Amino acid sequence: MAHRVYVPVWSPLIRILHWTLAASVLIALFTGHDGGSLHEAAGYVALGCVIVRVALGFVGATHARFSDFLFGPKEVLAYARDFIRGRAPRFMGHNPLGGWMIVALLGASFLASASGVLFITEAYWGDEFVGWLHDASGTLIVALAVFHVLGVAAASWSHGENLIAAMITGRKLQEPR
Instruction: Provide the 3-class DSSP secondary structure of residue 171.
Output: strand
Per the DSSP assignment, residues forming a β-bridge with 172 are 7
Distance in Å, CB of 72 to ligand HEM, minimum: 18
- Residue 134: CB atoms within 10 A of its CB come to 22
Residue selected from 70, 106, 140, 154 as contacting ligand HEM according to rule CB under 6 A: 106
Determine which residue in the list 11, 20, 40, 158 makes contact with ligand HEM, applying CB under 6 A. 40
Is residue 14 within 8 Å of 168, Cβ to Cβ? Answer: no
- Sign of the torsion formed by the C-alpha atoms of 158, 83, 136 and 68: positive
Q: Which is nearer to ligand HEM, 1 or 153 (CB)?
A: 153
Q: Alpha-carbon distance 41 to 175, whole Å?
A: 41
Q: Are 151 and 97 in contact (CB under 8 A)?
A: yes
Is there binding between residue 138 and ligand HEM (CB under 6 A)?
Answer: yes
| Contact flag: residue 146 with ligand HEM (CB under 6 A) | no
Q: Is 120 in the site for ligand HEM (CB under 6 A)?
A: yes
Q: By the criterion CB under 6 A, which residues form the site for ligand HEM?
A: 14, 17-18, 21-22, 25, 28-29, 32-33, 35, 39-40, 43-44, 46, 53, 64, 94, 98, 102, 105-106, 109, 112-113, 116-117, 119-120, 131, 134-135, 138, 141, 145, 148-149, 152, 163-164, 166-167
